[in-house]
Amino acid sequence: MQYTTTYHSPLGQVIIAGDDVGLTGLWFEGQKNYAKGLSSDCKERYIAVFHLAKRWLDIYFSGKEPDFMPPLHMVGTPFELGVWQMLGKIPYGKTITYGQIAKEIAKQQGLMRMSSQAVGGAVGRNKISIMVPCHRVVGAKGNLTGYAGGLDRKAKLLKLEKICTESLLLPN
């Protein structure tokens, strides 16, 4: 059984989803793929993991790096799970390109190469925004691209982490 609660972030309302294993989703209201994967019998109820999630978000939005991670229950294809695991390794305050992730995935799988577009698709289907930091992934030339929550939010999240967003290129 999945449950939801809401969180009021400085960047807008967030819905948090979880089950008895951990967090299953965290989306900005109205973002692309909003609430995708929620079961039809999902109920709004406060469960223990939500306390940890809200504490994590409070710390994060205060401009600090949280020193813990609530339990996560990510559901996806093996490829998606591999990409999301790599996202979780991107250090706070740093960025990585889709191409760098693709090279690492290819290396792990013993392949000559991996499509950056395939990686971008998996990054875009990440159901646990912010905590699984897809906002830290940028285009090959440092351009801000591909954030389901919107590029404005992506820029604000990077700025919050003290990543110099002025050096990142906004799309035309």
pLDDT per residue of the chain (172 residues) written in tens, 0 to 9: 999 999 999 999 999 999 999 999 999 998 887 777 787 888 888 899 999 999 999 999 999 999 999 999 999 999 999 999 999 999 999 999 999 999 999 999 899 999 999 999 999 999 999 999 999 999 988 888 888 889 999 999 999 999 865 555 444 4
The answer to whether 42 is a known catalytic residue is: no
Taking the alpha carbons of 8, 12, 13, 16 in that order, is the dihedral positive or negative? Answer: negative
User: For residues 46 and 138, is the Cβ–Cβ distance under 8 A?
Assistant: no
Neighbours of 152 (CB within 10 A): 12
User: For residues 42 and 81, is the Cβ–Cβ distance under 8 A?
Assistant: no
Give the span between the Cα atoms of 79 and 102, in whole angstroms.
11
List 49, 83, 134, 168, catalytic entry: 134
Q: Tell me, what DSSP letter sits at residue 91?
A: P
Neighbours of 143 (CB within 10 A): 15
User: For residues 45 and 14, is the Cβ–Cβ distance under 8 A?
Assistant: no
Query: Dihedral, CA atoms, 88, 53, 10, 37, nearest 10 degrees?
Result: 70
- Structural domains of the chain sorted by starting position, each given as residue range(s) with its CATH number in brackets: 3-61 (3.30.160), 78-167 (1.10.10.10)
